[in-house]
Structure 1
Amino acid sequence: MPETENNIEVWEDLVSIRDLAISLIICSGTSLGGYLLAPGGQEPLIFGLVGAVAGFIVSAILVKPKRKFKYIDEG
């Protein structure tokens, strides 16, 4: 059984609070940074979306999955 004292349940999966906070800070920062750096017109939306994707990529690299699978042979 995994340790639940440092985890919360998100969409029926246990998530580390620390990793979730790091990912939220990274994605929020890159999205807001892209939005604020964009010139006027429709560019803030595009820059914000690009920032969100960039934040997702950085979070996926920094926060490694901790899920372990067990294969049980029923034969």
Structure 2
Amino acid sequence: MSEQGQKENIEVWEDLVHIKDLVISLIICSVTSLGGYLIAPEDQQPLIFGLIGAVLGFVISASIIKPKRTFSYMDEE
């Protein structure tokens, strides 16, 4: 990988992540979780709505941000 590509990535849980994609997904998940929490009715409902917002944010992030990893199989004969 080039030096420029290395500067744009950080290591998270032993995997390289593009900084811009990480920030975008964090913003999306935070907004949907907090939005679900704030629009929920009182009592125990805010927790459920917040969790639903987190899952919704994950689905949106996964559909917007495509994986950049490529796998190649090398036969060792």
TM-score after normalising by structure 2: 0.94
1:11 aligned onto 2:13: yes
1:23 aligned onto 2:25: yes
Superposition CA RMSD, Å? 0.9
Instruction: After TM superposition, give the deviation of residue 70 of structure 1 in Å.
Output: 1.3
Which structure has the highest helix share of the two?
Answer: 2
Q: Which runs of 5+ in 1 are unaligned?
A: none
What corresponds to 1:64 in structure 2?
66
Q: Which aligned segments of 4 or more residues in structure 1 are displaced greater than 3 angstroms? A: none
What corresponds to 2:54 in structure 1?
52
Q: Which runs of 5+ in 2 are unaligned?
A: none
TM-score after normalising by structure 1: 0.96
Deviations 1:37-67 (A, max 9, x none): 0010110000000000000000000000000
Aligned positions, number: 75
Instruction: After TM superposition, give the deviation of residue 7 of structure 1 in Å.
Output: 0.4
